[in-house]
A = this chain, B = another copy of it.
Amino acid sequence: MNALSDLHATLDPSRKSWVESANDSASDFSIQNLPFGIFSDRRHGQQDDARRVGVAIGDQIVDLAALQAAGLLNVPSRADVFASALARDTLNDFIALGRDAWRSVRIQLSTLLARDTATLRDDAALRAKALVRQADAQLHLPVQIPGYTDFYSSKEHATNVGSMFRDPKNALLPNWSEMPIGYNGRASSVVVSGTPVSRPNGQLKLPDQERPVFGACRKLDIELEMGFVIGAGNALGEPVACADAEAHIFGMVLLNDWSARDIQQWEYVPLGPFNAKTFATTISPWIVTLDALERFRVAQPVQEPQPLAYLRHDGEHAFDIHLEVTLRPQQAKQASTIARTNFRHMYWTMAQQLAHHTVSGCNTRVGDLMGSGTISGPTEDSYGSLLELTWNGKKPLELREGGTRTFIEDGDELTLAGWCQGDGYRVGFGACAGQILPARREG
């Protein structure tokens, strides 16, 4: 057996599944994808102890523990811990088995789910145990996140923000082109898609008043981002080289870095955003592995000036991932698409972000989440935040249904979507959605 040729077989565009819904060209969860997540079966109640590892295929979820128990899935080198890693309420133990294990499990699943493999296809009793309809499942936060870092790696986004709040002629700060600027985020408030988010309260500095007032955020925004999840950490004092960085990444998710622009503008000097971001960050429930994204690898934008040596890598390290944001007002039947862009526009790559993050000696751990920063494209309809789309509220957006928007209103549901477009199939991320609830009343 040749692991690399087995890997390539999982990516073959002509491979189809006996799970027919996976063959729909619009399904995010083709047999080429096979993303990992944590689910529980709603039909059995929602006790935490029922949470376990699943893989999405079409409109179904494969229960990995059930396949392992049936002897259809194994990792011989980690046999002692493999079964228990599948019965956990987060993916961390599974991820900690290592890259060879994730890759091998994905290859085994691809074979089991392929149209011509009879083992599971023709075993109705086992299928009933090992497949759960997504409609019957509850999805949970896929990883326990020891640390969350957010970068700021879209040149278009940084330029737009700099133009709006500083000087359009010198919109990019001098350090921006030299390093992937990042900051530590708040891991505790990362929630899974579908979790409602309350509008935050905080200090607002109104232009006509000398002192700040306390109240509900009036400029609530999204940030369209993607995040990557650390699959192999590094020890304190031992940086990850740029060339090795992708081997430390388990996979990617969609990420909405909800942002309170008015709170942010008042608080962020000199130590960066804090309460403007810590109230919630939403991620999509399925982690798409880098293996599944391999055929969508493209060249990153040209970097000028050439980065310092520790930030250099050969080859292609960007990914061609289509991205969309929709907004649906509470009473509206239809959602409006408010932005379309692509992850390939990002100036700094994930590998460069991780190399920079660790070059000081900082350690990372399995499950750490790293956000890309807002992903904005070059055109006015490709910006990844309402701040940019409405130019800080000056140019309201016209919705298909529900009026106009400058920033988010109570009841609005914001949804990020993302997918790689193959020839007749998609490798997609599912939804990253959240509805905004009214602010908590104080006193």
Contacts and interface: CB of A to CB of B under 8 A. Distances in A.
B239 A187 contact: no
A295 interface: no
A361 B181 contact: no
Interface in A270-327: 270-276, 278-280, 305, 308-310
A368 B189 CA distance: 13
A280 B184 contact: no
Given A146-B187, A175-B212, A188-B365, 13 more contacts: A178-B203, A178-B212, A182-B271, A182-B274, A183-B272, A184-B278, A188-B362, A202-B360, A203-B308, A214-B308, A268-B271, A275-B362, A279-B362
B271 A181 contact: yes
A263 B178 CA distance: 13
B279 A360 contact: yes
A233 to B, nearest CB: 8
A202 B361 CA distance: 9
A410 interface: no
Contact of A147 (B188, B205, B236, B237): B188
A186 interface: yes
A152 B198 CA distance: 27
A173 B360 contact: no
27 contacts: A175-B205, A175-B269, A178-B212, A183-B183, A184-B274, A188-B236, A188-B362, A188-B363, A188-B368, A189-B362, A191-B236, A201-B361, A203-B308, A212-B308, A214-B310, A236-B280, A237-B279, A239-B440, A271-B273, A272-B273, A275-B356, A275-B357, A275-B360, A276-B360, A278-B360, A278-B362, A310-B442
Contacts of A186: 147, 184, 362
Nearest to A201: B359
A175 B140 CA distance: 38
B266 A175 contact: yes
A424 to B, nearest CB: 41
A260 interface: yes
B267 A179 contact: yes
Interface residues of A, number: 64
B271 A270 contact: no
Nearest to A152: B271
A230 B274 CA distance: 18
Contacts of A203: 175, 178-179, 308
Interface in A348-397: 356-357, 359-365, 368
Nearest to A202: B360
A211 interface: yes
A200 interface: yes
A274 B237 contact: no
Highest count of chain B CB atoms <10 Å: which of A173, A184, A280, A309: A184
A95 B368 CA distance: 25
A185 interface: yes
A270 B173 contact: yes
Contacts of A178: 203, 211-212
Contacts of A279: 236-237, 360-362
